[in-house]
Amino acid sequence: MVSIETSLPIVWRSNPHGNEYERARVGRVFNARRPKRFPRAVVEATTESQVVEAVRLAIREKCRVSVRSGGHSWAAWSVRDDAILIDLGRYQHLELDEGKKAIIVSPSTTGRVLNGLLSTRGLMFAGGHCPDVGVGGFLLQGGMGWNCKNWGWACEQVVAIDAVDAWGELLHCDTEQNSDLFWAARGAGPGFPGVITKFYLRVRPAYTNVLNSLFFYPISEYRRAMDWVIKASPTFDEDTEIVAIGAVAPPETGISGHCVLLNFLTFKNDEEEAKSALLPANTGRPQGFALELTNQPSSLADQYRIQAGANPEGHRYCAENAYIKNDADVPAVMEDAFTTAPHPKAFCIWYAMAPCSRRPLPDMALSTQSDHYFALYTVWEHESDDERCQSWVSNTMRKVERHSDGAYLGDSDFQVRRTRFWADANAERLMDIRRKYDPEGRICGYLDIDDASGVKGLENRHEWMQ
């Protein structure tokens, strides 16, 4: 529907065709646990100029602006009451500069689409693991991408952005121009005080030999498996991603109930080099495993298929996470989560972050990390299981929180839990930037209880530890 007030492709809540509004409101929200929040209108922008016009329309309408990139936010941050929601799903921009090994992308571009193009040029971008995650929210939150433990945060590869500010002006932001906004864009998450329309990204050469080694342990071997992988990770090969997964065991393992999967994924350009990288895991893994699959040929496309299977569409989700303290008894902190998931499709992960977690970060908003990233992804199908599954997540995280340094924005829900997301000085600077560039709170920020954070933003404290 096109409104009488503007030529924008816009669907108003007052649209007599309610199904069209509902499609625009939540049709691209990945989490089937739909929010009971209702934007005043949804602009399905197809161009950068329409994003500018949509912000200016919100100014005339005296309402806020919210933004949707890929729709993969677990808490559906884009869906806000009485705001104009700018949905970027139909705005597609991909511009490759092969000479500079750089690419300019629109925020709704997914990792699968981005790497699909780059792979034809022998390049890759270490974006999100789930194939349908848009780069917009992913990069704003920091970007815990492929092999983050060694290659660093994805947002470190952002060299500039274009963004529409709260006054409807299009700005280019980098280290020289509008540098405060560029600083904020790398780690502000949904509190960024503008609407990003383009990311300018450095890319890396693609890897021609990707191998995977997987070790499945019964839950009775949990402690032995976790003690070993945590010790092995910091000095492991620099092109190898390491993750431990707690989930119901697949039938081929012969394990009944939960298992621990240790997953080593290496990116190399030579098969023998890849096998050599995985050799310490293949020979050093502790005994007690039920199944091992070593040196399995893989690719980003294969990994995207696996991730899509673990994160199925049309399901209900509740996610939470923590950076567990480096001096904690990490296996003990995570044990309840690894052994008591409330649904067969739920899973949790320990994601190795060392050695990059020990180096100084660039000057950017992102500023909290530890050697140990822990996350819960609780997945279920029926609304009748909502209370049980969500309560399990909250109860589990209350125990983990006591041993954490903070959390990652991307797997959080500020309506349920507010914790520490930045170093104190970075949090203070970020909230000052929000007030400077959006003093009236035009751009919807952090969705906390009753959507009350507004211009002041988040307090950046371990609320559950008070």
2 φ/ψ angles, rounded to the nearest 5 degrees: -110, 125
Query: How does pLDDT run across 200-225, given as a tens digit for each residue?
Result: 999 999 999 999 999 999 999 999 99
Per-residue pLDDT at 1 exceeds 90: no
Strands (E), 325-416: 347-352, 372-380, 404-406
Please state, in angstroms and rounded to a whole number, the distance separating the CA atoms of residues 34 and 27.
Answer: 10
Per-residue pLDDT at 463 exceeds 90: no
Query: H/E element holding 320?
Result: strand 316-324
Query: How does pLDDT run across 100-114, given as a tens digit for each residue?
Result: 789 999 999 999 999
Cβ-Cβ contacts under 8 Å for 356 (sequence gap 6 or more): 148, 149, 150, 151, 152, 153, 369
Q: If pLDDT is split at 50, 70 and 90, which confidence band does 464 have?
A: confident
Per-residue pLDDT at 341 exceeds 50: yes
Query: How does pLDDT run across 44-65, given as a tens digit for each residue?
Result: 999 999 999 999 999 999 999 9
Per-residue pLDDT at 4 exceeds 80: no
Q: Which range (15-24, 99-108, 180-189, 262-271) has the least confidence?
A: 15-24
Query: H/E element holding 94?
Result: strand 94-97
Q: What Rg, from alpha-carbon coordinates, does the chain have?
A: 22
Q: Which domains does the chain have, with CATH numbers?
A: 94-205 (3.30.465.10), 209-411 (3.40.462.20)
pLDDT (average), residues 420-427? 97
Contact (Cβ atoms closer than 8 angstroms) between residue 336 and residue 396? yes
Cβ-Cβ contacts under 8 Å for 75 (sequence gap 6 or more): 31, 35, 412, 413, 414, 415, 447
pLDDT (average), residues 265-290? 98
Q: If pLDDT is split at 50, 70 and 90, which confidence band does 466 have?
A: low
pLDDT (average), residues 296-317? 96
Please state, in angstroms and rounded to a whole number, the distance separating the CA atoms of residues 68 and 66.
Answer: 7
